[in-house]
Chains A and B, each alone.
Chain A
Amino acid sequence: MNEKYEQLIADYLSGSLDAEGRNKVEELIASGEIDFMEFRELEKMHENLGSIPIPKPGKEMSDRFYAMLEEEKLDQKDNWVEFVSKKFKVLIAELTIPRLAYTVVLLVAGGFIGSQINGSQSDIEQLSQEMQTMKEMMMVNMLEGASAADRLKAVNISSELPRADSEAIHALLFTLNNDASVNVRVQTIEALKRWGDNEVVREGLVRSIAKQESPIVIIELADAMIELELKNGAQEFEELLRERELDYTVQQKLQSSIAALL
């Protein structure tokens, strides 16, 4: 049989033929180019395949999976502690004289300002402020790194910052709009969402829509717009739909997001 007819029958069996395709099959059967008896037998066989039973997996399979997952989570936790301490050591080792001086100045200034502004502020609060400054510096430095994995980790560090800081926000927004890695950009949106009540973050997220090319990032932004109730996002999405030839799934997602935002 002609390979085209074979493909047509395969499509028919899988149920993926449209009305036009089904008509074509009927025509070929009527003209005798496809043997009706053989076609019926194949159709029946395909249908009968559904009657072959399959046993269920045992509960042990599920238990084994969850035990493996728990073990992996423990490993991940250990690795994270190891990673942070290693990165910290690397950062300290890599500190150049001006950076070191800057760090010291920041720490001293932080301590001095802290003591001047609020004499009653406890030592713990001061320490916490200094830690935040250190983390921000570490994050900003790592965001400029060459490796996507390092930049991803830098974005994750931002989740440890208790308060939104303008330098950290600008660094993250810059990363969102310019980083070459889709994963880093997606993770950056997640990080920025935590500071969703900050006006700079809200405006930055909306402005970023027009700058994104990746469907994954656009979809992640659509979810963020809904989560943060950023109605201005709807206009940006409408423009995207007008101006670009987007993937069908992305189009659908944007249309539903626009409906939710308006």
Chain B
Amino acid sequence: MDSTSDKALMMKVKKGDLDKLGLLFERYNRPLFSFFYRMCKDHGTSEDLVQSVFERMLKYRESYTGSGTFTTWMFSIARNAHIDHYRKVKRSAVPVEIDEERLEVEEDAPFVIDQKEQKKNVLEMALERLDEEKREIVILSRYEGLKYKEIADILNTTEGAIKVKMFRAMKDLKNLVTTLSEECSYE
């Protein structure tokens, strides 16, 4: 652990050197925003939740022990912030609806680009439709680069269970893409 490692910085925050939290913010505000945005698809809510994570880091700094990776600790806080937020607004059970407009092809745009864009949109919507637990695992692994062991620590389960869920999430995603592509082709 060098003096600029995440753990060392957080230990300094714990000891009262609050400016070091600024360095951690600069390192992690984008990954956290990306995590929240991919989970809730709302720009404002994602920004609020990033703020909430750093507020919690300050509030609970005394309880930081430095065990495990810093990102595991940070994403555990992020996950709780996300759960608390959706408990409050009672939106966690709202199903994601297909955005029909995003599937439409603009008439005057070149066909090749449209098809590529359309595929991307379909994949994005398939990810939104994925079961929340599996979506969370895909986001943490694929976008945030966390190891399966780290995700298992965050979700309080085993590494093997996470790997199986990741495989099944990718399979579900593939089926959702097929369904959505078919729906799209009927229009």
Contacts and interface: CB of A to CB of B under 8 A. Distances in A.
Interface of A: 3, 6-7, 9-11, 13-14, 16, 38, 41-42, 45-46, 48-52, 54-58, 60-62, 64-66, 68-69, 72-73, 76, 149, 152, 156, 182-183, 186-187, 190, 216, 219, 223, 249, 253
18 contacts: A3-B164, A10-B148, A10-B163, A42-B167, A45-B174, A51-B123, A52-B123, A54-B33, A54-B37, A57-B29, A62-B25, A65-B29, A65-B54, A69-B54, A69-B58, A72-B18, A73-B18, A223-B2
Contact of A61 (B50, B138, B141, B168): B50
A56 B30 contact: yes
Contacts of B38: 54
Contacts, number: 128
B102 interface: no
Give the interface size class of chain B: 35 or more
B16 to A, nearest CB: 7
A45 B170 contact: yes
Contacts of B58: 68-69, 72
Contacts of A156: 16
Interface in B130-187: 138, 141-143, 147-148, 160, 162-164, 166-168, 170-171, 173-174, 177
Given A7-B160, A54-B37, 13 more contacts: A7-B164, A38-B171, A41-B174, A42-B170, A45-B173, A49-B142, A52-B127, A54-B33, A65-B50, A66-B22, A68-B58, A186-B11, A216-B11
Give the secondary structure class of B's interface: helix
A249 B143 CA distance: 25
Given A6-B167, A45-B170, A73-B18, A57 B50 contact: yes
Chain A to chain B: the 8 pairs with minimum beta-carbon distance, closest first: A10-B163, A6-B167, A7-B163, A57-B33, A10-B166, A61-B47, A10-B167, A42-B170
A216 B167 CA distance: 36
B18 to A, nearest CB: 5
Nearest to A219: B1
B3 to A, nearest CB: 6
A249 B30 CA distance: 27
Given A55-B37, A223-B3, A49 B127 contact: yes
